[in-house]
């Protein structure tokens, strides 16, 4: 191993990324329909009971449970209760009301019976069992009581929580602001999207995959102008990026930029490590400048993506206040292939899932299809081989 590297294991690198990321401050109100995945800034309590009245859970008849018996019961139908309206009047002894699912229970009733369990003829219904009090009735406030906590401060807004807030008539919710991460394209060979690539140029892939990782992790990515392959351009880009919460050099560990980025980080702050014991993604680096994390990712698209996925993603979640446990979904599968042990490096193996099996799709670190065709990643620890048919754990990417 060359002495210019300052290696960390992947676990050490992830820990350093999280430890050197600071929770952002600031609150904003956003529309409820745009709030999925955001972090609630203050505890939310119920303003109204849900449901706001006793309501039937079935299409059938609302009745008085005391009018029923173990033998045959016969009740007279005196009207109909529809969803969205209240039945006028009180239901007396020996009477019932036809009712729709979700309709408020008429005054005097305390149970419902399904149409299918009754016989109806000449304005009367009959059935042969005792109906229990509150049977097929959703009672007032059984879901949410007025004044009860619906969502704790720091909760991540899931689909279910959004539904609970909507039940209170809320149109907006207060959330913590998203961390803003500057992404700096790099390399003189990079051409921006939408323009014709010049001779010897390739389109910028890394900046866009990195930005998607940031957005998915709960942050907001902002693309800065590319940094040229010289020290002062990189220094200028870094200083410009420090107005945001974090910075990522999209190819800051590639040949040409590698020594410039690491050198500038050392001069402007601290370089925590340069090199992670993984393939692809070995040249990844992390520094801290003015208490903000600065990442340098490898130039090849697969290496860049994996560096962003494993290091930048957790950093953004820490800054956003999103629990790391929400980031991962793991499934077990049989590996259809074989991988030799590497005594020095862990291997990150992109795979495609087919039923209970997974197939390697890695071509080379420069081939973005190694990720676009992958459903997940298998971690192969250093010093351990993977045998054909062996059970492995797949970290899903979506």
Helix (H) or strand (E) holding 23: none
Q: Give the fold, CATH level 3, of 27-50+143-176.
A: Molybdopterin biosynthesis moea protein, domain 2 (3.90.105)
DSSP 335-354: E-S-B---SS-EEEEEEEEE
Pair of tokens at residue 373:
């065709």
- pTM of the model as a whole: 0.87
CB burial class (10 A; 0-12, 13-18, 19+) of residue 376? buried
For residue 27, the tally of other CB atoms under 10 A from its CB is 11
Class for the domain spanning 329-396 = mainly beta
Residue with tokens 């081939």: 367
Domain boundaries of the chain, sorted by first residue:
10-24+178-326, 27-50+143-176, 55-138, 329-396
Q: By the 8 A CB rule, do 346 and 352 touch?
A: no
Cis peptide before 291 (omega within 30 of 0): no
Same fold, 55-138 and 329-396: no
Q: Distance between CA atoms of 353 and 357, rounded to whole angstroms?
A: 6
> What residues does 111 pair with on adjacent strands?
63
> In DSSP terms, which residues pair with 333 in a beta bridge?
392
Pick the CATH number of 10-24+178-326 from 3.40.190.170, 3.40.50.300, 3.30.2290.10, 3.40.980.10: 3.40.980.10
**Among the listed ranges 112-116, 226-230, 314-318, 337-341, which one has the minimum average pLDDT value?**
226-230
| pLDDT tens, position by position, 49-100 | 999 999 999 999 999 999 999 999 999 999 999 999 999 999 999 999 999 9
- The CATH number for 55-138, chosen from 2.170.190.11, 3.30.559.10, 3.40.50.150, 3.40.190.10, is 2.170.190.11
pLDDT tens sequence across 303-336: 999 999 999 999 999 999 998 876 679 999 999 9
- Asked if the bond preceding 250 is cis, omega within 30° of 0, the reply is no
Phi-psi category of residue 373: left, alpha or beta, with phi > 0 → left and psi -120 to 50 → alpha: alpha
């Amino acid at each position: 191993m060359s002495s210019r590297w300052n290696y960390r294991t992947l676990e050490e690198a992830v820990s350093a990324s999280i430890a050197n990321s600071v929770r952002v401050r600031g609150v904003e109100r956003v529309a409820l329909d745009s709030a999925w995945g955001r972090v609630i800034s203050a505890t939310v309590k119920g303003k109204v009971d849900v449901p706001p009245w006793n309501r039937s859970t079935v299409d059938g008849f609302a009745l008085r449970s005391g009018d029923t018996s173990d033998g045959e019961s016969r009740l007279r139908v005196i009207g109909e209760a529809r969803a969205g309206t209240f039945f006028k009047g009180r239901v007396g002894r020996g009477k019932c009301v036809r009712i729709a699912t979700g309709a408020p229970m008429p005054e005097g009733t305390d149970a419902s019976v399904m149409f299918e369990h009754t016989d109806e003829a000449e304005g009367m219904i009959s059935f042969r069992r005792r109906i229990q009090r509150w049977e097929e009735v959703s009672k007032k406030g059984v879901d949410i009581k007025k004044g009860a906590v619906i969502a704790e401060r720091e909760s991540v807004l899931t689909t279910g929580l959004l539904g609970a807030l909507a039940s209170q008539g809320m149109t907006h919710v207060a959330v913590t602001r998203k961390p803003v991460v500057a992404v700096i394209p790099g390399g003189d060979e990079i051409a921006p999207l939408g323009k014709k690539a010049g001779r010897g140029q390739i389109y910028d892939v890394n900046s866009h995959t990195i930005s998607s990782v940031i957005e998915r992790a709960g942050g907001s990515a902002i693309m800065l102008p590319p940094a040229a392959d010289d020290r002062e351009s990189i220094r200028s880009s870094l200083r410009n990026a420090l107005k945001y919460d974090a910075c990522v050099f999209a190819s800051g560990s590639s040949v040409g930029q590698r020594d410039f980025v690491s050198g500038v980080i050392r001069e402007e702050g601290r370089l925590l490590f340069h090199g992670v014991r993984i393939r692809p993604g070995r040249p990844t680096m992390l520094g801290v400048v003015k208490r903000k994390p600065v990442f340098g990712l490898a130039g090849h698209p697969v290496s860049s993506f994996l560096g962003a996925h494993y290091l930048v993603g957790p950093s953004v979640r820490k800054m956003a206040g999103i629990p790391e446990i929400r980031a991962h979904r793991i499934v077990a599968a049989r590996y259809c292939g074989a991988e030799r042990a590497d005594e020095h490096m862990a291997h990150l193996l992109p795979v495609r899932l087919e039923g209970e099996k997974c197939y390697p799709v890695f071509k080379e670190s420069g081939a973005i299809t190694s990720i676009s065709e992958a459903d997940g990643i298998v971690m192969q620890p250093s010093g351990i081989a993977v045998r054909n048919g062996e059970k492995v754990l797949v970290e899903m990417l979506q």
